[in-house]
Chains A and B, each alone.
Chain A
Amino acid sequence: MLELDAKIPNNVDLSTDRKLQRALESWQPSFIDWWQDMGPEGFQQDNIYLRTAISVEPGGWANFDYVKMPDYRWGIFLAPPSRDTIGFGDNMGKAVWDAVPGDMRKELRRIIVTQADTEPASVEQQRLLGKTAPSLYDLRNLFQVNVEEGRHLWAMVYLLHSYFGRDGREEAEELLERRSGHADSPRILGAFNEPITNWLDFFCFTMFTDRDGKYQLAALAESAFDPLARTTQFMLTEEAHHLFVGETGIGRIIDRTTDLMQQDKNEDVRNLGGLPLDMVQRFINKWYSLSLDLFGGEDSSNAAAYFALGLKGRYKEQGGRYEDHVALEQHYTYDVVEGEKMAQREIPMRRAMNLVLRDAYVEDCERALRKWNSICKKKGIAFEFTLPSERFHRGQGVFSATHFDPSGNMLGNDVWQAKRDDYLPSEHDVAYVESLMVAEYEPGKIAGWIAEPKAGINRQAFDFPYVRFANQE
Chain B
Amino acid sequence: MSVLVYINSAHGIGKNAFETVTYGKKLGDVTVVTNGNVDDASLAKLGEYGASKVLVDKALVDADDQQLTRLIANAADQVGANTIVFSHDHVAKNIAPRLSVRLKAGLVSGAIALPDADGTIKVNVFSGKAFGSVKVNSARKIISLLPNSIQPESVGGSAVIEAFSGNAGDAKVKVLSTKQPEGDIPLPEAELVVSAGRGLKGPENWGMVEDLAKALGAATACSRPVSDIGWRPHHEHVGQTGIAIRPNLYIAAGISGAIQHLAGVNGSKVIVVINTDPEAPFFKAADYGVVGDAFEVLPKLTEAIKKFKASN
B and A form one assembly = no
Interface residues in chain B, defined as those with a beta carbon under 8 Å from any beta carbon in chain A: none
